Amino acid sequence: MNFLPPDRHVLQPLDTMGEALKVAAKAAWPWNTSNHLQRRWGLHSTTAENVAKGHGSSRTLIKAVRAEGADAWELWDAVGELIIGESRDQYDERKLQLILEKTAHARTRLEARRARRLELEAGSGGFDQVADR
């Protein structure tokens, strides 16, 4: 089940969970959205109509995620992306890039310290000789 609209890259992050649920539901079921929500998520007709209007609650989201079963993560990720404006893959990529940058910085610092230690050892005849004087 695809809960993201095809043009999701042009969307701004949404301000409410209700709006995110509405966009996700309409992406999955563009026609007769509230009827599909009643059947698929087991919502009361009034609740389904409210979701289709953008007035879903956190309780409704939890019910929808549980009703989706095997597709629950698709709905959860879609709602998260619609609210945050970044997909889980983009988040993971950004965090991985940050880890790689920190690792490269740590390696550079370690190499500089090793070079400095070797320079000091070569210039003073070694640490052991200085300690023996």
**For residue 32, how many other CB atoms are within 10 A of its CB?**
11
Using CA atoms, how far residue 5 sits from 27, 28, 79, 128, in Å, is 5, 8, 11, 69
Binned at pLDDT 50, 70 and 90, residue 125 comes out as low
Q: What integer pLDDT is reported at residue 13 of this predicted model? A: 79
| Closest listed residue to residue 49, CA positions, set 40, 64, 62, 38 | 38
For residue range 21-65, list pLDDT tens digits in order: 999 999 999 999 999 999 999 999 999 999 999 999 989 999 999
Q: Which residues contact 74 (CB under 8 A, 6 or more apart)?
A: 1, 2, 3, 68
Tell me the CATH number of domain 8-85, given options 2.40.160, 2.60.120, 3.40.50, 1.10.260.
Answer: 1.10.260
Q: Domain-by-domain residue ranges, the chain?
A: 8-85, 89-132
For residue range 72-118, list pLDDT tens digits in order: 999 999 998 998 888 889 999 999 999 999 999 999 999 999 999 99
| Closest listed residue to residue 37, CA positions, set 25, 46, 27 | 25
